[in-house]
C-alpha cells in the first residue's frame, strides 16, 4: 500500500471505509446504467455523482490510499465538467467508468491490505478521455442541451403510456461548423408535429433562434407506434448540410409494480434511514434470543407440571405469559435486523446482464417486480451465485438473437423479469424470460447420449425438465465464456438445498421459461412441529405441515413396497420414520400418529411414534465431522433440555417417493 504503511491503519477504520465505499460504488454503477439507458438523466444525477466521487476521494485520502485518491480526483473533475455543461457522458465514458468500478470493487474486496491500486493506468485512461473531449470542445464550443422533464411532464408521459400510446425521443446532432441550426430545428419540429404531439424540446422552442447548441432533441407523443416507414422518414428527413445525423428512440414504459432495471431518484440511497451493524453483533443477539427461547419453554414445562391452584403457580403463570409476549416481540425485532428489501439483492444484476448482452451482441431489458419484499440478508447473499447463473442462462440460451426474434414477430429486445413475493414463511423468487422455452426433445437426446436415461424410458414433460438439474448436464455443444462446461443447474439446485429451498421450472415453447426459487424467509429461528420417533425427538418446519392425524392400521394399504393412506379424494403416500431412521418403536394399531406435509404438488404422510406439538426453535448446523446428512437440516436444544433433530422433510419425501 502506497502512502501509508498498512500496519499503521486502524483495522476498524479500514473496514468502515471498505463497507461505505463499496455501497457508494454500487450506487454509482446503478446511476451509470440509468444514464446509459437515457443520456438525459446525467443532469438529473450529476450532483450526486460528484458527491460520491468527492466522498470516496476524501475517505481514501484519510486511509492513505494515494492512488485511489488521485483517480477519484480525476473522476471528480470529469463529473464537474459534466455539471458545468463542458462534457457529456457518452458510451465510451460510461464503458470506461464501469470498467473502473469493476476493478475497484474487486480491489476493495480482496487486495486493499496487500496490493497497491493500479492508479497510473486509470489516470492515463481518464485523462485520455477528457483530453479527447477537450479537442472536441475546441472544435465545437456549443453545448449539448440537457433534456430535463418537469414533474408535470413526467406525469403526462406516464399517463400517455398507460393508455397504450407511444413516446419517442428524436435527436439531431450538428457538425461543429454547422450553420443555420435553428432552421433545421424548426423544419424537423414542423415535420414531427404531423406525426404526433410534441411534449418538449431541448433547447426550448424559445431558445431555438439562439443557435447555441450542438444537438436538438424532441420528445414526441404518438397515438400508435411508429411504423418502420415513418421511422425511416424521420431518420432520412432532409435537413441542412450541418446536421450530421438524426436518431430516434422509443421510451419504455415503467408499469406500476414493475420496473425496468433499477429506477432511481437522486439521493435515494435506500428506503428509509439505515444503520450498519456488524454481522457478529447481530448473530450474538440471535444466539442470546435462542437461549431465551429455551428458558421460556422450560418455564412453560415447569408451569404445566405444577399445581395451578397455589398462589405461587398463579404468579408463575402471569410471569410466563409476560415472558412469552416479551420473547415474541424480541424475536420479531431481532429477525428484522437481518431482513433487507430484495432490491438490495437485485441491484447487482443490471450490470451483470449488461456485460453479458454486450458480449453476446443481444439487446435485453431487465425488469423487477416485488422489490420491497424482505428477505434474510444471509439467504440473499447465498442466492447471488444461483441467480447469476440463471440470468446468464436466460440471456445466453433462453433468449433468441435479435434477427430470429424479428422473424418470429417478437420484440427484437429480449425481456427478463426478476420477481419476488412472500408466501407464508417462504420467499419465492422468479426468473422469467420471453425466449424460446426449453427444448424437451433436445434434453431427451442429450440425456440418452450421456446415459442418464434408457432408450425405453417414457418420461413426462416434467420429468424431462428435471433432467437439467443432473450433475454435468448441458445441451450446449460449444464451451464459451458463459456456458458449456457442465457446471450449472445442478449447482443451483445444490445451493438451494443448503438453504432448505427448492426450484421449479415452467416453460412454454416459443414463449419463454420461468425458474421459481422457493427459500425460507430466515434460517435462524423457526416454528417447528415436534414429533417423537423411537425415543428421538424430530422437528418438522411448520410452514409445510398440513395437519396431524391419528389413523388405524387397517386404513394403511401397501401397493408394492409403498405404504398408502386413502383420504377422499386423495391418495397419500406414507413414510414410516421409525423404519427409515432404524429407530424402532411399538405401535398401537388403533392409534397411529401421522403428520401430513406439502411435498411438490401433493401431500406425503410421516408415520411417527408420538405427536408433541409446536415449539419455537433456533436451528444450529450439524457438526461437519459427522459428514453430510441430507435428511437432517440441523439441530436444536429444546425446552426440555433434549436435542431435537430438524428434518429435511422434502429431501426424505423426494428420496423415497421420487416426488419433486
Question: ∠ CA 513-515-518 to the nearest 5 degrees?
Answer: 160
Instruction: Tell me what pLDDT residue 524 has.
Output: 67
pLDDT confidence bin for 419, thresholds 50/70/90 = very high
Asked if residue 627 has pLDDT above 80, the reply is no
Domain spanning 525-657, CATH class: mainly beta
Instruction: Tell me what pLDDT residue 165 has.
Output: 87
Q: What DSSP assignment string belongs to 311-327?
A: HHHHHHHHHHHHHHHHH
The per-residue pLDDT for range 172-203, each reduced to its tens digit, is 888 877 878 888 888 889 999 999 999 999 88
Instruction: Give the orientation angle of helix 349-360 with respect to helix 377-393, to 10 degrees.
Output: 10
Burial 324-353 (b: 16+ CB within 10 A, else e): eeebeeebeebbebbbbbbbbbbbebbbbb
Q: In 10 A of CB 435, how many CB atoms?
A: 24
Instruction: Tell me what pLDDT residue 22 has.
Output: 87
The per-residue pLDDT for range 357-381, each reduced to its tens digit, is 888 888 899 999 998 888 888 888 8
SS3 446: helix
Do 128 and 96 contact (CB within 8 A), yes or no? no
Report cis status (omega within 30 of 0) of the bond before 582: no
Q: In 10 A of CB 586, how many CB atoms?
A: 7
| Percent of all residues in the chain with a pLDDT value above 90, rounded to a whole number | 17
Instruction: Tell me what pLDDT residue 307 has.
Output: 62
List the strands of the sheet with 570-576, edge to edge. Answer: 545-551, 592-599, 602-607, 570-576, 562-567, 556-559
pLDDT confidence bin for 133, thresholds 50/70/90 = low
Q: Which residue has the cell 415474541?
A: 328
Do 128 and 59 contact (CB within 8 A), yes or no? no
Beta strands in 15-85 (DSSP E): none
The per-residue pLDDT for range 258-279, each reduced to its tens digit, is 455 555 555 544 433 455 666 6
- Which CATH code, of 3.40.50.280, 3.30.1330.200, 3.40.50.10190, 3.30.70.1110, is assigned to 151-253? 3.30.70.1110
Asked if residue 64 has pLDDT above 70, the reply is yes
Q: Which residue has the cell 431555438?
A: 208
Q: Across all residues in the chain, what is the average pLDDT?
A: 81
Mean pLDDT (whole number) for 403-427? 89
CA distance 443 to 475: 7
Question: Span 6-139: which CATH code?
Answer: 1.20.120.160
SS3 88: coil
Asked if residue 117 has pLDDT above 50, the reply is yes
| Percent of all residues in the chain with a pLDDT value above 70, rounded to a whole number | 84
In terms of Cα–Cα distance, which of 537, 525, 512, 561 is closest to 645?
537
pLDDT confidence bin for 312, thresholds 50/70/90 = low
Torsion of CA 189, 195, 198, 201, to 10 degrees: -40
Asked if residue 41 has pLDDT above 90, the reply is no
Asked if residue 225 has pLDDT above 60, the reply is yes
Instruction: Tell me what pLDDT residue 306 has.
Output: 65
Asked if residue 531 has pLDDT above 90, the reply is yes
Instruction: Tell me what pLDDT residue 213 has.
Output: 85
Which three three-digit cell numbers place residue 43?
443532469
pLDDT confidence bin for 421, thresholds 50/70/90 = very high
pLDDT confidence bin for 569, thresholds 50/70/90 = confident
For residue 621, the 8-state DSSP code is: P
- Number of helices (H) and strands (E) in the chain: give both, helices first: 19, 23
Do 65 and 3 contact (CB within 8 A), yes or no? yes
Phi then psi for 634, rounded to 5 degrees? 165, -170
Q: Which residue has the cell 424470460?
A: 433
Instruction: Tell me what pLDDT residue 465 has.
Output: 86
Domain spanning 343-520, CATH class: alpha beta
pLDDT confidence bin for 139, thresholds 50/70/90 = very low
Torsion of CA 639, 640, 641, 646, to 10 degrees: -70
For residue 619, the 8-state DSSP code is: -
CA distance 29 to 26: 5
By mean pLDDT, which of 246-260, 399-413, 581-595 is the weakest?
246-260
Q: What DSSP assignment string belongs to 322-375?
A: HHHHHHHHHHHHHHHHHEEETHHHHTTHHHHHHHHHHHHT--EEEEEE-TT-EE
Mean pLDDT (whole number) for 219-237? 88
Mean pLDDT (whole number) for 331-360? 83
pLDDT confidence bin for 619, thresholds 50/70/90 = confident
Residue 274 has, within 13 A of its CA and on its CB side, a CA count of 13
Determine the length of the chain: 660
Do 390 and 346 contact (CB within 8 A), yes or no? no
Asked if residue 60 has pLDDT above 60, the reply is yes
Instruction: Tell me what pLDDT residue 600 has.
Output: 66
In terms of Cα–Cα distance, which of 433, 304, 420, 324 is closest to 372?
420
CA distance 391 to 432: 9
Greatest mean pLDDT among 173-177, 489-493, 593-597, 599-603 lies in 593-597
Which three three-digit cell numbers place residue 355?
456485460
Amino acid at each position: 500500500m502506497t502512502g501509508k504503511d498498512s500496519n499503521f491503519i486502524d483495522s476498524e477504520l479500514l473496514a468502515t471505509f471498505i463497507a461505505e465505499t463499496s455501497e457508494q460504488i454500487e450506487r454509482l454503477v446503478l446511476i451509470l446504467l440509468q444514464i446509459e439507458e437515457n443520456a438525459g438523466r446525467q443532469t438529473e444525477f450529476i450532483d450526486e455523482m460528484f458527491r460520491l466521487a468527492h466522498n470516496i476521494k476524501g475517505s481514501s485520502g484519510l486511509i492513505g490510499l494515494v492512488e485511489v485518491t488521485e483517480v477519484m480526483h480525476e473522476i471528480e473533475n470529469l463529473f464537474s465538467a459534466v455539471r458545468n455543461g463542458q462534457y457529456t457522458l457518452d458510451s465510451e465514458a460510461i464503458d470506461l467508468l464501469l470498467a473502473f468500478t469493476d476493478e475497484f470493487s474487486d480491489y476493495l474486496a480482496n487486495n486493499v491490505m496487500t496490493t497497491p491500486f493500479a492508479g497510473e493506468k486509470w489516470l492515463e485512461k481518464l485523462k485520455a478521455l477528457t483530453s479527447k473531449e477537450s479537442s472536441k470542445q475546441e472544435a465545437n464550443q456549443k453545448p449539448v442541451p440537457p433534456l430535463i422533464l418537469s414533474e408535470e411532464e413526467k406525469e403526462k408521459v406516464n399517463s400517455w403510456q398507460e393508455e397504450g400510446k407511444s413516446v419517442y425521443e428524436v435527436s439531431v446532432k450538428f457538425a461543429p461548423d454547422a450553420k443555420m441550426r435553428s432552421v433545421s430545428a424548426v423544419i424537423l419540429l414542423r415535420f414531427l408535429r404531423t406525426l404526433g404531439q410534441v411534449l418538449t424540446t431541448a433547447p426550448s422552442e424559445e431558445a431555438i433562434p439562439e443557435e447555441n447548441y450542438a444537438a436538438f432533441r424532441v420528445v414526441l407523443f404518438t397515438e400508435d407506434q411508429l411504423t418502420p416507414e415513418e421511422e425511416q422518414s424521420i431518420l432520412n428527413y432532409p435537413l441542412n448540410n450541418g446536421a450530421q445525423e438524426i436518431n430516434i428512440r422509443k421510451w419504455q414504459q415503467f408499469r406500476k409494480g414493475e420496473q425496468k432495471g433499477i429506477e432511481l431518484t437522486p439521493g435515494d440511497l435506500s428506503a428509509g434511514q439505515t444503520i450498519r451493524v456488524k454481522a457478529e453483533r447481530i448473530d450474538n443477539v440471535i444466539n442470546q434470543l435462542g437461549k431465551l427461547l429455551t428458558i421460556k419453554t422450560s418455564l412453560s414445562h415447569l408451569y404445566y407440571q405444577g399445581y395451578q391452584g397455589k398462589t405461587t403457580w398463579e404468579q408463575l403463570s402471569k410471569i410466563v405469559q409476560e415472558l412469552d409476549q416479551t420473547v415474541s416481540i424480541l424475536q420479531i425485532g431481532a429477525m428484522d435486523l437481518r431482513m433487507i428489501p430484495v432490491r438490495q439483492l437485485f441491484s447487482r444484476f443490471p450490470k451483470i446482464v449488461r456485460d453479458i448482452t454486450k458480449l453476446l451482441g443481444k439487446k435485453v431489458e431487465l425488469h423487477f417486480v416485488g422489490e420491497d419484499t424482505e428477505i434474510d440478508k444471509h439467504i440473499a447473499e447465498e442466492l447471488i451465485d444461483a441467480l447469476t447463473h440463471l440470468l446468464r442462462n436466460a440471456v445466453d440460451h433462453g433468449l433468441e438473437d435479435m434477427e430470429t426474434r424479428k422473424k418470429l414477430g417478437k420484440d427484437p429486445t429480449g425481456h427478463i423479469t426478476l420477481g419476488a413475493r412472500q408466501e407464508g414463511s417462504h420467499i419465492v423468487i422468479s426468473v422469467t424470460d420471453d425466449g424460446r422455452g426449453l427444448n424437451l426433445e433436445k434434453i431427451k437426446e442429450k440425456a440418452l447420449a450421456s446415459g442418464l436415461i434408457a432408450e425405453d424410458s417414457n418420461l413426462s414433460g416434467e420429468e424431462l425438465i428435471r433432467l437439467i438439474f443432473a450433475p454435468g448436464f448441458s445441451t450446449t455443444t460449444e464451451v464459451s465464456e458463459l456456458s458449456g462446461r457442465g457446471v450449472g443447474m445442478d449447482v443451483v439446485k445444490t445451493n438451494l438445498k443448503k438453504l432448505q429451498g427448492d426450484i421449479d421450472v415452467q416453460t412454454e415453447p416459443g414463449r419463454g421459461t420461468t425458474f421459481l426459487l422457493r427459500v425460507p424467509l430466515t434460517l435462524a429461528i423457526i416454528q417447528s412441529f415436534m414429533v417423537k420417533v423411537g425415543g428421538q425427538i424430530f422437528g418438522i418446519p411448520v410452514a409445510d405441515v398440513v395437519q396431524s392425524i391419528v389413523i388405524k392400521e387397517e386404513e394403511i394399504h401397501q401397493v408394492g413396497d409403498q405404504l398408502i393412506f386413502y383420504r377422499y379424494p386423495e391418495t397419500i403416500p406414507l413414510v414410516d420414520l421409525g423404519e427409515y431412521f432404524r429407530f424402532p418403536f411399538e405401535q398401537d394399531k388403533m392409534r397411529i400418529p401421522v403428520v401430513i406435509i406439502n411435498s411438490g404438488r401433493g401431500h406425503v404422510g410421516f408415520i411417527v411414534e408420538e405427536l408433541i406439538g409446536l415449539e419455537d426453535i433456533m436451528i444450529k448446523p450439524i457438526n461437519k465431522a459427522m459428514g453430510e446428512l441430507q435428511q437432517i437440516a440441523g439441530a436444536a436444544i429444546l425446552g426440555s433440555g433434549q436435542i431435537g433433530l430438524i428434518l429435511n422433510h422434502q429431501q426424505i419425501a423426494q428420496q423415497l417417493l421420487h416426488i419433486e
